A and B are shown apart, each in its own frame.
Chain A
């Protein structure tokens, strides 16, 4: 499973590298989301004082980026590899460069650069400073020191790395079309390409996202998710006092849901420019309320005396 021969070998190499750094290797979150940052292992775990190290692949859905399988590198579903380490270690840049070496990018042969990129997510109420990481002129990763997430100041700051897996693998394998990536590392009859796995899905989902998704249903789903999120947040405050929260994670699931439904509605072209801002604001309000609740949970760093108590 050499990283430069197969897409899966590439993923396994990254996982192994970050496992060796003491990261918890998680599996993808079981919900649709636009980026690995939405995973509660990043959004929520970035908050509060407790140390946290995790790495995982997250399938990311960008309904608007669908191109019916026609474009060589645009996809409505792709993989991000996400690393989150809190507090950010002093040698995070070096670790990142070592991880590139682990997937076959030799920094004595390639031109690796850190180019300014300030990250901001209006839907998550989050911002950070960092870079786009370039390899020979190609953006291959995002590197961010989170300053605020879900409206809460990060204390301490977490470092986040996001690798665009397809793009990096295309570079390492030397292919120009994402569908030509060798997925399983075999040759001849046994070879499975990225296209074999995902081309049909790209075509089908593009049709769905742009032409057939049920907008009426989606509008209802958005409202339902929004209402459920608020309901769970309200119900989660222990003894009705805003000191301890017992249901931040289920509430946050609904925030993820609302965000993805919004992306689907946006791709369908049924949200006007002015409405767009208001939808983003509504998702942000949910994210902020979830962040506030999370800070009152045990993993969020709230008082250990709450342990073991139930609703």
Chain B
């Protein structure tokens, strides 16, 4: 079957848009073909800086014919109906219609056949339409035709279109169409500088080979492979190692059609700048790779660039030019870094008084002060030195106003660490500058130094409590302040470091700290407006775990619970167990929640666990039905005198032993122990259901047995609410 070759040749397409554009082209053309009844065998799309190319192979040469049967009016029906039928079906007269008999009578039937169109014609219709509606993130008009409102828009000016269709064995045909003054054909061009002449192509195979000969590597993956292999080779040849950078590799491969990898160097004196600053300078500004020395693990004074031409001097001028630019850039970076070192971090803090963190949450200075207070509060709970923690929290954000971070925002925190170390701060204090931002995502490292943990928790909890206080919670897919990430960060910090923290209490404490900021802002506002300053600092509270807590603290706890469930679900763990634990109430210590969940999960993997849960469930179901029927609850202790059967007595006895044992284990936070105790109930529960009829004819006995069932349910609540557990 024939193949399609399509190439859209334009001025330079932004690197970041190429991969998606190739995929969009493939999807749009193949979807449209299928919609036209043309099922193809395979398709592949490619992009270079100057072209989008699609090959679709194995397309039928024409659409199949479409047979249609259409029922018309009754034989001898109204003349108007018959005329309408003839007109709609295109029949010349009723002689061309068939007559069909069905239970309701005889009807005219029109059999029409819509012949399938040649695929070439279909392509000539759909290709211009796809090009016109192509979803570029940003597109533009150009040239003389841009004066007309119907002018084509494309990512950059489109120059030519190759569109051929045909069998391997034959000369393919051009899919004929015209678009914005461009007539489709079979002519393209090679490399802009090395092979600018026109090339005539027939189909994908000769197209790709001719481009290769004209210094164009069509496949982006091949360009990436070439760059990576050559870069590694160049570094290796000098005893160094390429610092791999997949994101940069993607971008660089979208900037060249014919990658030529070259190595340059810079003055070794620049190595006094931190490696990350050198890398950011060379990568962000120059799109070059850096190189490290495997002996030291540190950067060397080399860089690797990817040119787009085989220069006539072997690349000497290109390397020299890049070296000059990199020298100038590194001079700037070195100047910034050395300027930064002249000012102590604490001396930068007054600047934060003029930087607004959020218009409703005060200045950065106020936020830093809040983080200091909360971090100091948390420090003893995580085993961190309070004074060091306060110092760390004080300095953690100071690098935001340094020159280097101003130039390279992605180096925030890291620069703070370097500057803190340079001014002789304690290592833990310095580390907190970098680590208090962590973890930033599921793959990011969780800090383990207690000082960093305290500041990281305080930073995230201040963010959460703050945005909760001004009602800027995430909704649906919108989470502009990354609050979900902050909550997940808190969870990982607590669980992975085995830290116990009562989140409701912490959130209540910090809300009152935040009140001071809000008070200050309200006073300032009142002063500006010249009016009275009546500051109301109202907040609503609710009863939680036997005390009044802020509604926001409780709401935030639920937010954490949801995140925890989501996290467990992603890890393939049983998130329903989280519900079973939380519905016990009063649980705001996430570490304990996770421990209970783990113990439960293990227990329910055993036969004892499974059977006990089945027994408890049965007890709950019976109770539920009977309580509903009788409109009363069966709480209160059962009366031992009313037990008639041994199994009843045995169950009551087991419960009397297991209850306190499990309770004692829970009190010691030995959840596995509580489960082991619980397991002892199983034989008694099984025997009870085996031998005992709950709904005894004697009402007193029945009531007593229901109370016994209620005891089972109550006893298991020492660890979890079994009714929330899914099968």
Interface residues of A (CB under 8 A from B): 49, 72-73, 87-90, 93, 107-116, 118, 128-131, 135-138, 145, 147, 154-157, 159, 171, 176
Known contacts: A93-B11, A111-B308. The answer to whether A137 contacts B144 by CB under 8 A is no
The answer to whether B146 and A154 touch across the interface, beta carbons within 8 angstroms, is: yes
Residues of B within 8 A of A111 (CB): 307-309, 311, 318, 321
Instruction: Tell whether B142 is near chain A: CB-to-CB under 8 Å.
Output: yes
Nearest-CB residue, chain B, relative to A117: B14
Stretch of B120-128, B324-332, B547-555 contacting A (4+ beta carbons < 8 Å): B324-332
Query: Do A145 and B147 form a contact, CB below 8 Å, given A108-B309, A110-B321, A136-B322?
Result: no
The reply to whether the CB of B680 lies closer than 8 angstroms to some CB of chain A is no
Q: Hey, which chain A residues are within 8 Å of B139, CB to CB?
A: 129
**B138 & A118 in contact (Cβ 8 Å cutoff):** yes
Q: Does A89 lie within 8 Å of B312, measured CB to CB?
A: no
Q: Is B93 an interface residue (CB 8 A)?
A: no
Q: Which residues of B contact A112 (CB under 8 A)?
A: 193
| Beta-carbon contact of B325 and A87 below 8 Å | no
A137 adjacent to B141 (CB under 8 Å)? no
Is B325 in contact with A138, judged by CB distance below 8 angstroms? Answer: yes
Sample of 15 more A-B contacts, CB < 8 Å, known A72-B328, A88-B142, A88-B146? A108-B311, A109-B312, A111-B321, A113-B256, A114-B11, A118-B138, A137-B286, A138-B321, A145-B142, A145-B156, A147-B140, A147-B141, A171-B324, A176-B324, A176-B327
B305 x A87 contact (CB < 8 A): no
Residue of B nearest to A138 (CB): B325
CB distance from B705 to the nearest CB of A (A): 74
Interface centre among B146, B159, B255 (most CB of A within 10 A): B146
Query: Within the complex, which residue of B14, B143, B325, B327 is in contact with A116, where a contact is CB–CB below 8 Å?
Result: B14
User: B482 an interface residue at 8 Å Cβ cutoff?
Assistant: no
Contacts of B327 in A (CB 8 A): 176
Q: B interface vs A, CB < 8 Å?
A: 11-12, 14-16, 49, 138-147, 155-157, 159, 193, 255-256, 286-288, 305, 307-309, 311-313, 317-318, 320-322, 324-328, 331
Once bound together, how far apart are the Cα atoms of A49 and B144, in whole Å? Answer: 10
A73 to chain B, nearest CB (A): 7
- Nearest first, the 9 A-B pairs at minimum CB distance are A136-B321, A116-B14, A114-B12, A156-B147, A137-B322, A157-B146, A111-B307, A129-B140, A156-B146
Partner of A145 from B16, B140, B286, B317 at Cβ < 8 Å:
B140
- List of A residues within 8 angstroms of B255 by Cβ: 113, 115
A110 pairs with B143, CB closer than 8 A: no
Across-interface contacts of B305 in A (CB, < 8 A): 137
Assuming A116-B14, A137-B288, A137-B326, is B317 touching A89 (CB within 8 A)? no
In the complex, how many angstroms separate the beta carbon of A268 from the nearest chain B beta carbon? 17
Which residue on chain A has the smallest CB distance to residue B324? A176
With both beta carbons as reference points, the residue of chain B lying nearest to A89 in the complex is identified as: B143
Are A156 and B143 in contact, with the CB atoms below 8 A?
A: yes
A136/B325 in contact, CB under 8 A: yes
Residues of A near B317 (CB, < 8 A) are: 109-110, 136
13 A–B contact pairs at CB < 8 A?
A: A49-B147, A87-B147, A90-B143, A90-B157, A109-B317, A111-B318, A113-B12, A114-B49, A128-B140, A135-B321, A136-B318, A176-B324, A176-B327
Give every chain B residue within 8 A of A131 (Cβ-Cβ).
Answer: 12
**Contact call A137/B138, Cβ cutoff below 8 A:** no
Q: Across the interface, do A129 and B138 meet the contact criterion of CB distance under 8 Å?
A: yes
Closest Cβ neighbor of A73 among chain B residues: B328
Q: Report the minimum CB–CB distance from A205 to chain B (whole Å).
A: 21
Residue pair B147, A155 in contact (C-beta under 8 Å): yes
Nearest A residue to B153, CB-CB: A147
Chain A residues within an 8 Å CB radius of B147: 49, 87, 155-156
B318 touches A116 (CB 8 A): no
Give the distance in Å from the alpha carbon of A138 to the alpha carbon of B326 in the complex: 9
Chain A residues in 8 Å Cβ range of B311? 108-111
CA distance A129 to B140 in the complex (A): 7
Residues of chain A with a CB closer than 8 A to B286's CB? 137
- Which of chain B's residues has its CB closest to A49's CB? B147
Chain A residues with CB below 8 A from B145, complex form = 156
C-alpha spacing A273/B286, complex, angstroms = 30
CB neighbours (8 Å) of B321 from chain A are 110-111, 135-138, 171
**Nearest Cβ in chain A — how far from B506, in angstroms?**
34
The distance in angstroms between the C-alpha atoms of A154 and B142, with both chains bound, is: 10
Complex Cα spacing A128 to B156, Å? 11
- List, in ascending order, chain B residues with CB within 8 A of A136's CB: 317-318, 320-322, 325
The answer to whether B144 and A129 have CB atoms under 8 Å apart is no
B314 to chain A, nearest CB (A): 10
Partner of B157, one of A49, A115, A135, A145: A145
For A155, the chain B residues whose CB sits under 8 A away are 146-147
Q: Are B318 and A110 in contact (CB under 8 A)?
A: yes
Residue on A nearest B141 in the bound complex, by CB: A157
Query: B331 contacts which chain A residues (CB < 8 A)?
Result: 72
CB distance from B263 to the nearest CB of A (A): 13
A274's nearest neighbour on chain B, judged by CB, is B356
Return B157 CB to nearest CB of chain A, in Å: 7
A130–B308 CA distance with the chains assembled, in angstroms: 19
**Smallest CB–CB gap between A166 and chain B, Å?**
13
A90 to B14, CA, bound (A): 19
Contacts of A128 in B (CB 8 A): 140
A109 and B143 contacting across the interface, CB-CB below 8 Å:
no
Bound Cα distance from A5 to B163, whole angstroms: 49
Contact at B325–A137, with CB atoms within 8 Å?
yes
User: Which residue of chain A is the closest to B139 with respect to CB atoms?
Assistant: A129
Contacts of A130 in B (CB 8 A): 156
Residues in chain B near residue A137, CB distance under 8 A = 286-288, 305, 321-322, 325-326
Contact B312 A116 (CB under 8 A): no
Q: Would you give the shortest CB distance from A160 to chain B, in whole angstroms? A: 12
- Shortest Cβ distance from residue B299 to the other chain A in the assembled complex, whole angstroms: 18
A157 touches B12 (CB 8 A): no
The reply to whether A87 and B309 contact each other, CB–CB distance below 8 Å, is: no
Contacts of A72 in B (CB 8 A): 328, 331
Nearest chain A residue, comparing its CB with the CB of B313: A109
A112 to B307, CA, bound (A): 9
Closest to A93 in B: B11
A138 & B146 in contact (Cβ 8 Å cutoff): no
B319: nearest residue on chain A (CB-CB)? Answer: A136
Closest B residue to A155 using CB positions: B147
A111 to B14 CA separation, bound complex (whole angstroms): 17
CB distance from B151 to the nearest CB of A (A): 8
List, in ascending order, chain B residues with CB within 8 A of A135's CB: 321
Q: How far is the CA of A135 from the CA of B321 in the complex (A)?
A: 8
CB distance from A93 to the nearest CB of B (A): 6
Q: Report the minimum CB–CB distance from A113 to chain B (whole Å).
A: 6
Residues of B within 8 A of A156 (CB): 141, 143-147
Closest to A137 in B: B322
Give chain B nearest CB distance to A77 CB in angstroms.
Answer: 20
* CB-CB nearest in chain A for B335: A71
Let me know if A113 and B138 touch, CB within 8 A: no
Q: How far is the CA of A171 from the CA of B14 in the complex (A)?
A: 26
> Given the complex, which residues of A lie within 8 Å of B16, measured CB to CB?
116
Minimum CB–CB distance from B304 to chain A (whole Å) comes to 12
Tell me whether A113 and B142 are in contact (CB under 8 A).
no
Within the complex, the shortest CB–CB distance from A234 to chain B, in Å, comes to 30
Nearest to B327 among chain A residues (CB) is A176
Q: Which of B144, B286, B326, B328 has the most chain A CB within a 10 Å cutoff?
A: B144
Measured CB to CB, the nearest residue on chain A to B285 is A137
Complex CA distance for A136 and B307, rounded to whole angstroms: 8
Of the candidates A87, A110, A176, the one whose C-beta lies within 8 Å of that of B146 is A87
B135 to chain A, nearest CB (A): 16
Q: Could you tell me the distance between the alpha carbons of A89 and B326 in the complex, rounded to whole angstroms?
A: 35
| Inter-chain contacts of B287 with A (CB < 8 A) | 137
Within the complex, the shortest CB–CB distance from A200 to chain B, in Å, comes to 23
| A176 near B11: Cβ-Cβ < 8 Å | no
A275 vs chain B, min Cβ distance (A): 14
Determine the distance from Cα of A111 to Cα of B193 in the docked complex, in whole angstroms. Answer: 10
Closest to B196 in A: A94
CB distance from B541 to the nearest CB of A (A): 36
CB distance from A6 to the nearest CB of B (A): 20
Given A109-B312, A137-B288, A138-B321, do A87 and B143 touch, yes or no (CB 8 Å)? yes
